[in-house]
A and B are shown apart, each in its own frame.
Chain A
């Protein structure tokens, strides 16, 4: 349970997360919402990678010269989870773009206020 000063990298990640969340909730333009979503997800990836680090470790590819001591290599599991999460993020972005295209075709705008106005609400 370390001091907060040692967690400065986590603080940076939290700042990124907050920027992403603000983009999703605060912005009125739909593209900006997607950008916010991507920032948010990328910050999560950084969070996982940060947690998998080990001081004095190297990438998790076994080098026969170094042996298979666990302390030498970074933790591989966060990397695996993040690979999956990246794919999910790409898939979500692709679907979101497709949705934005249909929205634009129907309402010729990507501003939330104008869309709501044209939806007749």
Chain B
């Protein structure tokens, strides 16, 4: 059974999606538990396959037993394992958040919802593991279709945001498809490994360059890299908190991973770095995005809109890591995927919990919360410190590797950009922390004394906050075993 593991991860999620949907129709409470069970089962399978990959090397699964260029394959190397672990792990923690505050929907109607969440995770896992350019497109569309529905749960404004996202995501998907078409008509294959072999012969062909440009543009649209970020703030502000957490924590990172994968395993370094300035363009627009999005985040008063702009800035860090195109930069970028999903996941859950529990939307509402909700604000502080990049957290280590990568490539501008952006991060996160620890000056407000969040909401937040510290402590283990072996191939 062990050789079927790569296929079983998405398939188990899909099967649990069906079971959660069908049984949820009969007894609505079941669907939530089944969804958590499915996500945890997928996480277990990911852990098993990670152990197997670490012991025996890259796994490859040929669907229908057709050899790769002819059939579809799933490739599972250590980097894929890392991404699958992040997706299923973060997903199962986020699903533990209760339905009503998390998804803003009645529990009676939640069966469809949990089916879609599991399908969303299955789509992301498929995207990560696909070893075939077109198969990736199919999973990309599954994950975006589910997101449109999930974002729109938030009500009228969320529907408009979701529609905007639909237009942008469809343009992104279409660009990707067109790019795949150009690559296919230039080399005659859509298997990633096969394209990697065949591509050097036609590197100077305009259709390969144009196709690569279209593919990268499409993926940048999906990952909300700076000039294409316009859909993200609205959808993250109006979507239900858990959906916003999913979107910020895993959904926009997976296209970034795909770009890394394309850089490493499809278009080689020669093409992306030397022949065409694609990585340079990514690096520069990311650098611009980091600064501009951070400044925009400072200007926001709504807590969740601020987090959304912060997501744009953080995704640009990942883009910067890819754009540096050296092993340390890639390590920093990929490790930042994990750090960011832990931090942004917990921050969005806190935002959702505070809104549901206290009705707080704006940063002014945080005043005096530090005393009354020590655990929540503690988790918020840890996540905020991670965002700024203070040492024991995971956020520090990813930025550290990004800095090393920038120094390695001799681009001091990026070093300056990262230092300035850390300062900007500090400005907008310390503002909140300061507000939270400022005691209320009038006694009238203390009558409707908000107490600590209920345990059901607090548990996933605290798990994620602990995860930030644990990932920071284990950074060397994770990077040496999972990320470095692949990134060194550059």
Residue of A21, A30, A99 with highest tally of chain B CB at under 10 A: A99
- Closest CB in chain B relative to A119 CB, distance in Å: 6
Whether the pair B134, A81 counts as a contact (CB closer than 8 A) is yes
Whether the pair A103, B163 counts as a contact (CB closer than 8 A) is yes
B159 beta carbon closer than 8 Å to chain A: yes
Stretch at the interface among B24-32, B149-157, B298-306, B331-339: B149-157
B148 beta carbon closer than 8 Å to chain A: yes
- Closest CB in chain B relative to A10 CB, distance in Å: 10
Whether the pair A115, B174 counts as a contact (CB closer than 8 A) is no
Given A1-B205, A41-B174: A103 touches B185 (CB 8 Å cut-off) = no
Q: How far is the CA of A103 from the CA of B162 in the complex (A)?
A: 10
Whether the pair A84, B166 counts as a contact (CB closer than 8 A) is no
* Majority secondary structure, A binding face: helix
Q: How many interface residues does A have (CB within 8 Å)?
A: 31
Q: How many interface residues does B have (CB within 8 Å)?
A: 29
CB-CB under 8 A from B170, the residues of chain A are 24, 37, 41, 92
Whether the pair A85, B177 counts as a contact (CB closer than 8 A) is yes
Given A1-B205, A51-B181, A92-B145: A107 touches B156 (CB 8 Å cut-off) = yes
Whether the pair A119, B157 counts as a contact (CB closer than 8 A) is yes
Task: Considering the complex, give the chain B residue whose CB is closest to the CB of A118.
Answer: B156
Q: Which of A63-109 contact B (CB under 8 A)?
A: 77-78, 81, 84-85, 88, 91-92, 95-96, 99-100, 102-103, 106-107
Q: How far is the CA of A30 from the CA of B159 in the complex (A)?
A: 12
Whether the pair B171, A21 counts as a contact (CB closer than 8 A) is yes
* Majority secondary structure, B binding face: helix
Whether the pair B177, A24 counts as a contact (CB closer than 8 A) is no
Q: How far is the CA of A41 from the CA of B141 in the complex (A)?
A: 13
- Closest CB in chain B relative to A113 CB, distance in Å: 12
Q: How far is the CA of A103 from the CA of B149 in the complex (A)?
A: 13
- Closest CB in chain B relative to A44 CB, distance in Å: 6
CB-CB under 8 A from A1, the residues of chain B are 205
- Return the CB mask of B163-205 against A: 1 if under 8 Å, else 0: 1001100110110011011001100001000000000000001
Task: Considering the complex, give the chain A residue whose CB is closest to the CB of B144.
Answer: A92
Whether the pair A84, B134 counts as a contact (CB closer than 8 A) is yes
Q: How far is the CA of A33 from the CA of B166 in the complex (A)?
A: 11
B160 beta carbon closer than 8 Å to chain A: yes
Whether the pair B159, A102 counts as a contact (CB closer than 8 A) is yes
CB-CB under 8 A from A119, the residues of chain B are 156-157, 160
Whether the pair B166, A99 counts as a contact (CB closer than 8 A) is yes
Q: How far is the CA of A78 from the CA of B181 in the complex (A)?
A: 8
Whether the pair A99, B152 counts as a contact (CB closer than 8 A) is yes
Q: How far is the CA of A41 from the CA of B190 in the complex (A)?
A: 20
Task: Considering the complex, give the chain B residue whose CB is closest to the CB of A106.
Answer: B156
- Closest CB in chain B relative to A20 CB, distance in Å: 9
Q: How far is the CA of A103 from the CA of B177 in the complex (A)?
A: 29
Whether the pair B163, A88 counts as a contact (CB closer than 8 A) is no
Task: Considering the complex, give the chain B residue whose CB is closest to the CB of A103.
Answer: B159
Whether the pair A91, B171 counts as a contact (CB closer than 8 A) is no
Q: Which of B14-38 contact A (CB under 8 A)?
A: none
Given A24-B167, A51-B185, A77-B184: A99 touches B162 (CB 8 Å cut-off) = yes
Q: Which of A10-64 contact B (CB under 8 A)?
A: 17, 21, 24, 30, 33, 37, 40-41, 44, 47-48, 51
Whether the pair B181, A48 counts as a contact (CB closer than 8 A) is yes
Whether the pair A88, B138 counts as a contact (CB closer than 8 A) is yes
- Of A17, A84, A99, A106, the residue contacting B138 (CB under 8 A) is A84
Q: How far is the CA of A33 from the CA of B165 in the complex (A)?
A: 12
Whether the pair B167, A95 counts as a contact (CB closer than 8 A) is no
- Return the CB mask of B111-148 against A: 1 if under 8 Å, else 0: 00000000000000000000000100110010001001
CB-CB under 8 A from B173, the residues of chain A are 88
CB-CB under 8 A from B137, the residues of chain A are 85, 88
- Closest CB in chain A relative to B417 CB, distance in Å: 30
Given A21-B171, A33-B167, A77-B184: A44 touches B178 (CB 8 Å cut-off) = yes
Whether the pair A47, B152 counts as a contact (CB closer than 8 A) is no
Q: How far is the CA of A41 from the CA of B170 in the complex (A)?
A: 9
CB-CB under 8 A from A77, the residues of chain B are 184, 190
- Closest CB in chain B relative to A23 CB, distance in Å: 10
CB-CB under 8 A from A100, the residues of chain B are 163
Whether the pair B159, A44 counts as a contact (CB closer than 8 A) is no
Whether the pair B152, A102 counts as a contact (CB closer than 8 A) is yes
Whether the pair A47, B181 counts as a contact (CB closer than 8 A) is yes
Q: How far is the CA of A51 from the CA of B181 in the complex (A)?
A: 9
Whether the pair B163, A44 counts as a contact (CB closer than 8 A) is no
Task: Considering the complex, give the chain A residue whose CB is closest to the CB of B162.
Answer: A99
CB-CB under 8 A from A91, the residues of chain B are 141, 145
Minimum-distance CB pairs A-B, first 4: A106-B156, A102-B159, A51-B185, A88-B141
Q: A91-B145, A107-B160 are in contact. List 6 more A-B contacts (CB 8 A).
A: A40-B171, A41-B170, A51-B181, A81-B184, A88-B141, A102-B156
30 contacts between A and B (CB under 8 A): A24-B167, A30-B163, A33-B167, A37-B167, A40-B171, A40-B174, A44-B177, A48-B181, A51-B181, A51-B184, A77-B184, A78-B181, A81-B180, A81-B184, A84-B134, A88-B137, A88-B138, A88-B141, A91-B141, A91-B145, A92-B141, A92-B145, A96-B163, A99-B148, A99-B152, A102-B156, A102-B159, A103-B163, A106-B156, A119-B160
